[in-house]
Structure 1
Amino acid sequence: MAMISGFKKFLLRGNVVDLAIAVVIGAAFTAIVNSFVKDVLTPLIAAIGGQPDFSALTLRIGAGEIRYGLFLNALISFLMVAAVIYFLVVRPYESLSARFTRQEESVLRDCPECLSEIPRAAVRCARCTSPVVPVP
């Protein structure tokens, strides 16, 4: 019975539940981004620059065949997914979090003579002993 209660405590800890939620939301978001790339961006590229499917590109070396077109498709798809995530998730999140995080004002400044860090209110540098004007 103690083994089951320990397992129950483990499952109900916050970080395990948060991780499970993150995995589910991540999978759903992946489906949305992949659909956006496949159904919106790829046809748009095809309309502008021609057929975006490179899967037929191959290189024959002896009896072997290198299908580098499939690699190009995967690379282009990856770059488009990364761009969508960056511009639709990362950038907006960074700007939103920057609004809510308070910029901490530095309590240090550089000495004009020796360029070592000194407190803003200092009247003399501790390293080179040069007099400095205090900054309020």
Structure 2
Amino acid sequence: MGGFRKFLMRGNLVELAVAVVVGATFSGLVQALVADLITPLIAAVTGGRQPDFSQYKFVVNGAEFKYGDFVNHLLTFMIIAAVIYWLVVMPMTRLISFFDRDKKAAEQQCPECRSDIPIDARRCAFCTVELQTVPADDRPPA
């Protein structure tokens, strides 16, 4: 039982649980944004009609295929993905790049095997080639 308790209390599992809860809440927020703002905006641009394909279907040998409902869900997914990309991913990428641009390089590439190795290394840990060492004051800025 102690091993199971340790497994449950590991940092990764707790962080994952928090991420799932936050993700579920964020999903509701994004769905509300799409339903209440983005879809009416599309309706305003297309002449007052909200896109609804739920009635589209075809019948083969008595079997009814409601492909319109799938199209509705596909459009909703595409709109949500675009909103998340433009409102979350793009700003976070810019914010991260803003903080990373002033960082000094901590690693260099081995000229022989192209592995990432510490900048002060004298020998590659992967291919063991001896590296040319340049004093820190004479290195070009990264």
Q: TM-score higher than 0.5 here?
A: yes
Whole-Å separation in 2 of the counterparts to 1:21 and 1:99: 27
TM-score by length of 2: 0.66
Tell me: CA distance 1:105–1:16, structure 2 relative to 1, closer, same or farther (3 Å).
closer
Taking a change above 3 Å as real, the CA distance of residues 103 and 56 of structure 1, as seen in their structure-2 partners, is: farther
2:37 matches 1:40 = yes
Sort the Cα spacing of 1:103 and 1:94 in 2 relative to 1 into closer, same or farther, 3 A. Answer: farther
Within the alignment, does 1:53 sit opposite 2:42 as a pair?
no
| Post-superposition offset of 1:25 | 0.5
Distance 1:103 1:55, change over 3 A: farther
Counterparts of 2:59 and 2:77 in 1: how far apart (Å)?
Answer: 26
Any idea what SS the aligned residue of 1:56 has?
A: coil
**1:64 Cα shift?**
2.3
Q: Which has the larger radius of gyration?
A: 1
TM-score by length of 1: 0.69
SS in 1 for 2:51: coil
| Structure 1 position 70, deviation (Å) | 0.6
Structure 1 residue aligned with 2:68: 69
Assess, with a 3 A threshold, how the Cα gap between structure 1 residues 18 and 106 changes in structure 2: closer, same or farther.
closer
Unaligned runs of 5+ in 1: 109-116, 118-134
Partner of 1:120: none
1:61 deviates by 2.8
Percent of residue pairs identical: 47
What is the rounded CA distance, in whole Å, between the counterparts of 2:3 and 2:105 in structure 1?
42
Structure 2: tracts of 5 or more residues without a match: 115-138
Alpha-carbon displacement from aligned partner over 1:100-131 (angstroms, at most 9, x marks no partner): 122649967xxxxxxxx9xxxxxxxxxxxxxx
Equivalent residue in structure 2 for 1:16, among 8, 13, 17? 13
CA distance in 2, matches of 1:59, 1:103: 61
- Superposed, 1:1-136 pairs within 5 Å as 3=1, 5-49=2-46, 50-101=49-100, 102=103, 104=105
How far does residue 54 in structure 1 lie from its aligned partner after superposition? 0.8
